[in-house]
Chain A
Amino acid sequence: ETGVTQTPRHLVMGMTNKKSLKCEQHLGHNAMYWYKQSAKKPLELMFVYSLEERVENNSVPSRFSPECPNSSHLFLHLHTLQPEDSALYLCASSQDRGLATDTQYFGPGTRLTVL
């Protein structure tokens, strides 16, 4: 609907597993974002990529590893996660180079549960 798709929509993983979240935008945008949305907490920015270059990393633990192979695709690689990492992970994109005033278009999110 928004032009930003995310897979999988739901993921359950153990603490020793390795998994990846995928985001794809069909809008021709140049900037992509990963956010974490936990219950009862505001949206938290994790990573920002502009023209495939990481321009923001908000002190995210190294067990989360982003990858942006091109301006249309964004991955979040997960390994040795903790139960407190269970949350909705949202991907977004914006047209320009990730200016603060760019309108961001969000995907539907991946609901992650870490057992």
Chain B
Amino acid sequence: GESVGLHLPTLSVQEGDNSIINCAYSNSASDYFIWYKQESGKGPQFIIDIRSNMDKRQGQRVTVLLNKTVKHLSLQIAATQPGDSAVYFCAETSSLYNTNAGKSTFGDGTTLTVKP
């Protein structure tokens, strides 16, 4: 279940496999990045974030990788479960936006489907 380097609108994986979801961002000034998960009928939910002074951050079963050289962000989900089925999207913003509150740019989502 990989889509390395490319943003794909859909990704289908087998339960237990690892998933990789990609996101490209455009603003070189962005220094803070977030991944959200949105399940059907619900609002987006924060999963994990990363600042530009890092290139990797790990959470529970999720890892975010940041490549500032090519402005690329990825979310890795280990041992994907049916409950991981959702739309995943990234957001980029800049800590310079302390006076322009909440100004984030959101990416196109990837719909992850986990097959049992």
Contacts and interface: CB of A to CB of B under 8 A. Distances in A.
B103 interface: yes
B89 A42 contact: yes
Contacts, number: 74
B12 interface: no
Contacts of B45: 2, 106
B95 interface: yes
B94 to A, nearest CB: 6
Interface stretch (A62-70, A73-81, A92-100): A92-100
A90 interface: yes
B94 A100 contact: yes
Given A4-B43, A101-B32, 16 more contacts: A1-B42, A31-B101, A33-B102, A42-B89, A44-B106, A45-B103, A48-B101, A48-B102, A55-B100, A56-B101, A90-B43, A100-B98, A100-B101, A104-B46, A105-B46, A109-B43
The 10 closest A-B pairs by CB, nearest first: A98-B101, A106-B43, A100-B97, A43-B106, A100-B93, A42-B106, A48-B102, A55-B101, A48-B101, A98-B102
Interface of A: 1-2, 4, 31, 33, 42-45, 48, 50, 55-56, 90, 92, 94, 97-109
